[in-house]
């Protein structure tokens, strides 16, 4: 790290240390993290400010540097907003936008003043072309994140199905 201390100010070094702990950038060396940092945009959202809305076309992944955000969806049946999750510093959201420019599946609002780092899909594509080794690591980690989130969702769905079956089928425990 002494080599980097010579060339970079304290703020950049703090951001590099922060990126080291982000799952997406795990296994990437400090020199390459500087390249990644140069390709991230930074923005601060004020408490209550909408970061994106369900249905917007996604073009970036967000990493929370400080603050927290709330993810919500609009339930068409009840006509109410449903809270999905909170995302905290060091966590990310919006990762599907890096793979496809499709409508967002949730609305994200700053639950407090929040600073984010954004990776736009155009920057990721450029990363694949200019630094393929880094791109492979990022793509692999992205796949792992999405796989673990999908697995968790499947487990939640299976638990809901089992709970509903228990409530409606008295013989469920006998014949699952």
Looking at per-residue pLDDT, the higher value among 115 and 128 belongs to: 115
Is pLDDT above 70 for 174?
A: no
CA proximity to 53, closest of 106, 116, 111, 121: 106
**What pairing do the DSSP bridges indicate for beta strands 41-45 and 92-93?**
unpaired
Q: Tell me, yes or no, whether 173 lies in a domain.
A: no
Instruction: Find the mean pLDDT for residues 131-135.
Output: 91
Q: What is the reported pTM?
A: 0.81
Winning range, highest mean pLDDT, from 3-17, 50-64, 125-139: 50-64
148: left (phi over 0), alpha (psi -120 to 50) or beta: alpha
Q: Tell me, yes or no, whether 119 lies in a domain.
A: yes
Q: Tell me, yes or no, whether 175 lies in a domain.
A: no
Q: What confidence category does residue 48 fall into, taking pLDDT thresholds of 50, 70 and 90?
A: very high
Domain count, the chain: 1
Residue 104 gets which letter from DSSP? -
pLDDT at position 158 is 85
| Token digits of residue 93 | 């959201």
Q: Tell me, yes or no, whether 114 lies in a domain.
A: yes
Q: Tell me, yes or no, whether 135 lies in a domain.
A: yes
The enclosing domain of 23 has a CATH number of 2.60.120.10
| CA dist list (Å): 161 to 16, 82, 157, 164 | 44, 20, 6, 5
pLDDT at position 167 is 73
User: Residue 89 belongs to what domain range?
Assistant: 2-168
* Helix residue spans in the chain (DSSP H): 2-7, 10-20, 30-38, 121-130, 132-168
Q: Tell me, yes or no, whether 129 lies in a domain.
A: yes
Q: Mean pLDDT score of the chain, rounded to an integer?
A: 88
Q: Tell me, yes or no, whether 21 lies in a domain.
A: yes
Q: Tell me, yes or no, whether 176 lies in a domain.
A: no
């Amino acid at each position: 790290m002494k080599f980097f201390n010579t060339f970079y100010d304290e703020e950049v070094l703090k951001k590099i240390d922060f990126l080291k702990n982000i799952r997406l950038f795990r296994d990437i060396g400090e020199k390459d993290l500087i390249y990644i940092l140069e390709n991230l945009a930074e923005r601060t959202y004020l408490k209550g400010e909408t970061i994106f809305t369900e249905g917007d076309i996604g073009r970036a992944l967000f990493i929370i540097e400080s603050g927290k955000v709330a993810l919500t969806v609009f339930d068409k049946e009840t006509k109410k907003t449903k809270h999905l999750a909170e995302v905290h510093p060091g966590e990310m959201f919006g990762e599907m936008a890096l793979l496809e420019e499709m409508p967002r599946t949730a609305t994200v609002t700053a639950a407090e003043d929040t600073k984010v780092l954004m990776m736009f899909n155009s920057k990721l594509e450029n990363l694949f072309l200019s630094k393929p080794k880094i791109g492979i690591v990022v793509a692999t980690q992205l796949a792992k994140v999405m796989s673990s989130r999908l697995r968790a969702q499947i487990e939640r769905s299976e638990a809901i199905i089992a709970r509903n079956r228990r409530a409606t089928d008295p013989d469920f425990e006998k014949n699952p």
